[in-house]
Amino acid sequence: MEAKYCDPSERYVRSAAREANGLLREVEKLAERIDGQMSKKVQALRFAENEYIKAEKDSVRATSVKRSSRFTLSWTTQSWFQRYLEKGRQHVADPGGASSVESRP
């Protein structure tokens, strides 16, 4: 007969333990889902990081090519202006030339 007897406080403790155990399982499942989602996010961020690094390297390469082209263009323009300036000086220095300042009305 003692086996059938159950103290109400013991019943309450068992019920609370079952409820706590159920909540623990639910928390573990949620933790697994969060872990899976975080792993996917980490993979996506690593992929984005690699793409960004690759794009930055490509940009540096493209910029270095543009700089050398711009330098060449700048040097060519400067050279052209230098020649134009020299021709202008020659025309001004030549008083008998058709384009001299003195021969103009």
Tens of pLDDT, residues 16-48: 999 999 999 999 999 999 999 999 999 999 999
Residue 101 within any structural domain of the chain: no
User: Residue 104 domain-assigned?
Assistant: no
Instruction: Tell whether 76 is covered by a domain.
Output: yes
Q: Residue 103 falls within a domain, yes or no?
A: no
b/e sequence 12-40, b meaning 16+ C-beta within 10 Å: eeeeeeeeeeeeeeeeeeeeeeeeeeeee
Residues of the domain holding 8: 1-95
Residues 78, 86: contact at Cβ < 8 Å? no
Q: State mean pLDDT over 51-59.
A: 89
56-90 pLDDT, tens digit per residue, is 888 888 877 655 555 555 666 677 777 777 777 77
Residue 3 within a domain: yes
Overall number of domains in the chain? 1
In a domain, 12, yes or no: yes
Q: What does the CA dihedral 44, 45, 46, 49 come to, rounded to 10 degrees?
A: 130
Decide if 100 is inside a domain: no
CA distance 71 to 96: 39
- Tell me, yes or no, whether 102 lies in a domain: no
